[in-house]
Chains A and B, each alone.
Chain A
Amino acid sequence: MTSVAGRVRSAGPLVSRIAAALFGGYALAALASVAVLALPISRPQAVLTGEMASFLVYAAAVIWVFAVRSALRAWAGLLVVAAPLSLAAWSVW
């Protein structure tokens, strides 16, 4: 039992990072693709720019998540970037 609990505890940060990379990364990319609409360019161009840029944001987010020292920092980094993007996205939705 204790070994199971121990395993969970040691796997926890890794699972957390994987979740941050997969889902946090996608959420951040999606948010960025909407936030682009706040730029002063025409709607179709903004939509396409957002779509194209989103995969680079996603890839960068995943790299960030696995590059930093702890799972906590990984999440914190994503949130720090997400905050201004949310503001921009919220203004156009």
Chain B
Amino acid sequence: MSDLHTWVGLLLGWVLYAMFLTGTVSYFKDELSQWMRPELPAQSNVPDQAVVAQRVADELVALVPGSPQWSLRLPDARNNSVYAFWRTAGAAPGQRAFGEGNFDPATGQAVSSRATLGGDFFYRFHFQFHYMPVVWGRWIAGIAAMFMLVAIVSGVITHKKIFVDFFTFRWGKGQRSWLDAHNALSVFGLPFHAMITYTGLVTLMALYMPWGQQAGIKTAAERQQFNAELSAFIQPGKPSGEKAPLASIEDMVRQAQERWGRDGVGRVTATHPGDAAARVAVARGDGGRVSMSPQYLEFEGTTGRLLAVHEGVGPAAETRGVLYALHLGRFSDSVTRWLYFLVSLAGTAMVGTGLVMWTVKRRQKLPDPARPHVGFHVVERLNIASIAGLSVAMAAFLWANRLLPETLADRANWEIHGFFIVWALTLLHGVLRPAKRAWVEQLWLAAALLALLPVLNAATTQRPLWQSLADGDWVFVGMDLMCWALAALHAVLAVRTLRHQPKTRPARKPAPETVDRPAGGAVLREG
């Protein structure tokens, strides 16, 4: 069982580490997106959603006439732009049938800010990666999550004395300390790790386990009934062909606001707008309710007459809604979100310490520590690039957001290319340098990039830290402070790595001076 734990942990460990870390920062993806569009002013109050919905709907009527369906995510406490997604009318086969964009709630027009995917890049990378078909990415993520689930269960079985281990911590004892750190991190967040892994599988379960659906849902009516249990997206029926303008979207959203509160509306979807057969769904937002199950009002598009209120689904669908919501944590207030972030960071560290432990353990068993075998080398170098290198690459992504010229063609994608180029360079660096130096250099580089990010922000935007503090702009203040906190974390890791003395031979009997080494004992220089 211990071998099973080691191998399922290692084989997809690097993928899992990247998923964990990008997923962790995704709890602040809305804030990241705001930081990455500094031209959009800070939003001190949530604008009236009904007015904004009408404004952007009018814009879409002009922008994508004849679209069979569009959907708006309205602004809320964490979003100062409107995200719209639409199907394109009469797209020929092979043409893009979908479009998307961000709109300014104040003007209704496309946001006049630098082109960026914002925090959505980390969010999407977290479960479908990049440079590959979305479905492939999601399958890889699913397989990794399944490995993780097995690693968690087998880990609990391996460490039977799990709570004793939790209270045993041996500092500065090489492999023992790594093991203790791994155990402490794992046990501390165990309910979270188990929940997040399982619910992650649940978010994409229709892809991974389609068989029940194929066997049980066959007719179009059954499929419609099934989909209604899962989402507030109303399916476009047949257009009548008869032109008729949409009734007031503002009035429809008002009715929803009366039900769910002024800022409680999440999404407005219209099918066949401009046609007599138009339908509009106004869906409730995720804030303040611990379920993602659909709640929405359905309107006749041309008259604005309320057709149906959908506020309940079956027990299994509600369970799924809760599991889904637990994974995304969008229901949370800021305290809960910080807890999510911290315990998720602990999960990232659990995967990271697990990966490092493999090399620490193996190093002691090597016949000749000076010339380890190929497998050891591969694991060691991949660890460097996937742990320290990922921090460097993620920081570089934020640097690219501030440094790439706004006029650059395909700018949003170049931010992403920048992330991957830097990440590839860290792998190259990890291969070329002695392992320990590579670790230390990359950790210092990550610390430096993070520490200087607030400086770069001050130099390239109108919103430096002192200004944000004066304006009470907590998104920008939080981002700057977070960068420094993370820079400090990386600096501590760099110093500890530098001081770390690998034990090359199994020290069976009395452990030689492993206790406290003198501070500043940077005695250790390989090569």
Contact = CB atoms under 8 A, between A and B. Distances in A.
Interface in B191-238: 198, 201-202, 205-206, 208-209, 211-213, 215-217, 222, 225-226, 229
Interface residues of A, number: 30
B213 A47 contact: yes
Interface of A: 29-30, 33-34, 36-37, 41-52, 54-56, 58-59, 62-63, 66-67, 89, 92-93
Nearest to A49: B316
Contact of A66 (B1, B206, B320): B1
A30 B4 CA distance: 23
Interface bin, chain B = 20 to 34
Contacts of A58: 146, 149
Contacts of B205: 51-52, 54-55
11 contacts: A29-B209, A44-B314, A45-B315, A46-B212, A47-B212, A48-B320, A51-B202, A52-B202, A52-B319, A92-B215, A93-B215
A86 B300 CA distance: 46
B153 interface: yes
A56 B201 CA distance: 10
Nearest to A61: B150
Contacts of B320: 48, 51-52
B211 A43 contact: no
Contacts of A59: 146, 149-150, 153
Contacts of A47: 212-213, 216-217, 226
B79 interface: no
Given A51-B206, A92-B215, 6 more contacts: A34-B215, A43-B216, A43-B217, A44-B314, A51-B209, A52-B320
Contacts of B150: 59, 62-63
Given A48-B317, A49-B316, A62-B150, A33 B202 contact: no
Contact of B209 (A30, A42, A44, A66): A30
A42 B316 CA distance: 10
Contacts of B213: 47, 51
Contacts of A46: 212, 216, 316
B314 A42 contact: yes
B154 interface: yes
B157 interface: yes
B72 to A, nearest CB: 27
Question: Which among B202, B209, B319 has the greatest number of chain A C-beta atoms within 10 A?
Answer: B209
B507 to A, nearest CB: 32
A62 B3 CA distance: 13
A10 to B, nearest CB: 15
The 10 A-B pairs of least Cβ separation, nearest first, read A50-B212, A48-B316, A45-B316, A51-B205, A33-B212, A45-B314, A66-B4, A49-B316, A47-B212, A44-B226
Given A43-B216, A92-B216, A63 B209 contact: no
Contacts of B314: 42, 44-45, 48
